[in-house]
């Protein structure tokens, strides 16, 4: 069955306040109605708006229908726009509910395979009072009570007939459907599917959107360098005196190389060799902070910040403990982050393997990137 969506956005939202109706106010950098439309991406949509908002809506890329003087009149206008289009299922949704998920949409559409109507709702769990002049005047039994949400789903023909027969003034489309004798199945709603009604609702919606948009990436890095002649080693940006050096095309900073690879890995960008090929003579003897600075800059260019990183150096000698704080500070400086986000530690391999035989140093690193 072909399914379409009617988004009702013709109201003026007087309780919200502001210079423009709430559906046109900004939420996380976009108008509320843009978020609502995005929730139904890929579906056939009819947007019902107030005549005064036609200019605002022209760039949204969906068919526009002029709404009526009441909500049910606006819905009827949207339903009539779908007559003769082959649509058999219709979802009717409030434009001021921008956080509906595809999971809820799919559940409602599926419910219409067995029912003429279905709507999302959540059981009332709080105690209910009646009030009078700011005082509690009584209580209401909450058993069997639900908080209604949208989208509300219907087979097109029955809900169109129900609206045509209704005198008007209904709270929602379920009321219209029931007045026409239609049974409405209850589908489990979502706590985050809130309707923006008061100014404080925007802060809550922003927090929900931020949580949904969170993108956390994890990368690992591993590097090894052999000892060679020398009197120091570079480790995590710190020059550490030692009876030998480390062999490498660059300065052989094994710890910084592992961390750089961890950041590249979190970005799915390969390793240092992809960005700074060892066959290129310009990187001969290069300071490894160049590589690390490039990796973190690449992450930021894609909207990520370092959540934290952890570097483990594996060697018998030199002893890392006396230099670990300086290494932590230097890595933090290069990446432009607080030192509390950087961990540097060391371990031995209990005299086993090439590190145990003091033939070289290994390093492991993990980096977490978080979408800013």
pLDDT value for 39: 94
CA distance 82 to 216: 42
> Residue 293's domain is classified under what CATH number?
3.30.1330.50
182-200: per-residue pLDDT in tens?
999 999 999 999 999 999 9
262-295: per-residue pLDDT in tens?
999 999 999 999 999 988 889 888 999 999 999 9
pLDDT value for 214: 77
pLDDT at 15 over 80: no
pLDDT at 371 over 90: no
Give the SS3 label for residue 262: helix
Residues 291 and 361 in one domain: yes
98-123: per-residue pLDDT in tens?
999 999 999 999 999 999 999 999 99
Residues 358 and 233 in one domain: yes
pLDDT value for 13: 66
pLDDT value for 212: 81
> Residue ranges of the alpha helices (H) in 31-154?
32-39, 54-57, 71-82, 102-111
> Residue 156's domain is classified under what CATH number?
3.90.550.10
Residues 208 and 229 in one domain: no
pLDDT value for 264: 98
Residues 236 and 312 in one domain: yes
Residues 228 and 200 in one domain: no
Residues 184 and 263 in one domain: no
CA distance 350 to 357: 10
Residues 206 and 254 in one domain: no
- For 312-328, b/e burial (b = at least 16 CB within 10 A) is bbbbeebebeebbebbb
Q: Write down which residue in 154, 180, 212 finishes a domain.
A: 212
CB neighbours of 229 closer than 8 A, spacing ≥ 6?
244, 245
Q: Write down which residue in 159, 184, 212 finishes a domain.
A: 212
Residues 129 and 195 in one domain: yes
Domain, as residue range, for 42: 2-212
Nearest Cα residue to 242 out of 258, 254, 250: 254
pLDDT confidence bin for 156, thresholds 50/70/90: very high
CA distances from 137 to 109, 206, 217, 346 (A): 41, 36, 54, 68
Residues 87 and 185 in one domain: yes
- For 227-240, b/e burial (b = at least 16 CB within 10 A) is beeeeebbbbbbeb
pLDDT value for 291: 97
pLDDT at 253 over 70: yes
pLDDT value for 237: 96
CA distance 263 to 296: 7
pLDDT value for 1: 58
pLDDT value for 210: 82
- Mean residue pLDDT of the chain comes to 94
Q: Could you say which DSSP state residue 22 is in?
A: G
Looking at the chain, the whole-number percentage of residues with pLDDT higher than 90 is: 88
Structurally, the chain folds into a number of domains equal to 2
Give the SS3 label for residue 334: helix
Residues 201 and 223 in one domain: no
Residues 159 and 28 in one domain: yes
289-331: per-residue pLDDT in tens?
999 999 999 999 998 999 999 999 999 999 999 999 999 999 9
pLDDT at 157 over 70: yes
27-81: per-residue pLDDT in tens?
999 999 999 999 999 999 999 999 999 999 988 999 999 999 999 999 999 999 9
């Amino acid at each position: 069955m072909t399914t379409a969506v009617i988004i009702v956005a013709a109201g003026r939202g007087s309780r919200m306040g502001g210079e423009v109706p709430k559906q046109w106010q900004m939420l996380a950098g976009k108008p509320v109605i843009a978020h609502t439309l995005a929730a139904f991406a890929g579906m056939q949509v009819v947007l019902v708006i107030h005549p005064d908002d036609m200019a605002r809506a022209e760039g949204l890329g969906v068919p526009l229908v002029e709404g009526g003087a009441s909500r049910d009149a606006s819905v009827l206008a949207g339903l009539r726009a779908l007559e003769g289009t082959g649509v058999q299922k219709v979802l009717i949704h409030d434009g001021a509910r921008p956080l509906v998920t595809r999971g809820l949409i799919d559940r409602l559409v599926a419910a219409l395979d067995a029912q003429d109507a279905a709507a999302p709702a959540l059981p009332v769990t709080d105690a209910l009072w009646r009030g009078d002049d700011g005082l509690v005047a009584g209580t209401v039994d909450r058993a069997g009570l639900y908080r209604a949400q949208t989208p509300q789903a219907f087979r097109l023909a029955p809900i169109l007939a129900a609206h045509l027969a209704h005198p008007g003034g209904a709270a929602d489309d379920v009321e219209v459907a029931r007045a026409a004798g239609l049974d409405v199945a209850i589908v489990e709603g979502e706590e985050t599917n809130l309707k923006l009604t008061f100014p404080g609702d925007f802060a809550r919606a922003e927090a929900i959107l931020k949580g949904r948009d969170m993108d956390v990436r994890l990368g690992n890095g591993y590097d090894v360098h052999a000892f060679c002649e020398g009197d120091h080693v570079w480790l995590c940006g710190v020059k550490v005196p030692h009876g030998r050096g480390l062999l490498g095309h660059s300065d052989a900073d094994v710890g910084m190389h592992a961390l750089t690879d961890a950041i590249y890995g979190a970005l799915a960008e390969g390793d240092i060799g992809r960005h700074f090929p060892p066959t290129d003579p310009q990187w001969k003897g290069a300071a490894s902070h160049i590589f690390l600075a490039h990796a973190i800059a690449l992450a930021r260019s894609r909207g990520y910040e370092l959540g934290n990183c952890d570097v483990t150096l594996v060697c018998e000698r030199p002893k890392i403990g006396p230099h670990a704080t300086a290494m932590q500070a230097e890595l933090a400086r290069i990446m432009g982050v607080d030192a509390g986000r950087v961990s540097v530690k060391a371990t031995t391999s209990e005299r086993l393997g090439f590190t145990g035989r003091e033939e070289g140093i290994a390093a492991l690193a993990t980096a977490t990137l978080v979408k800013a």
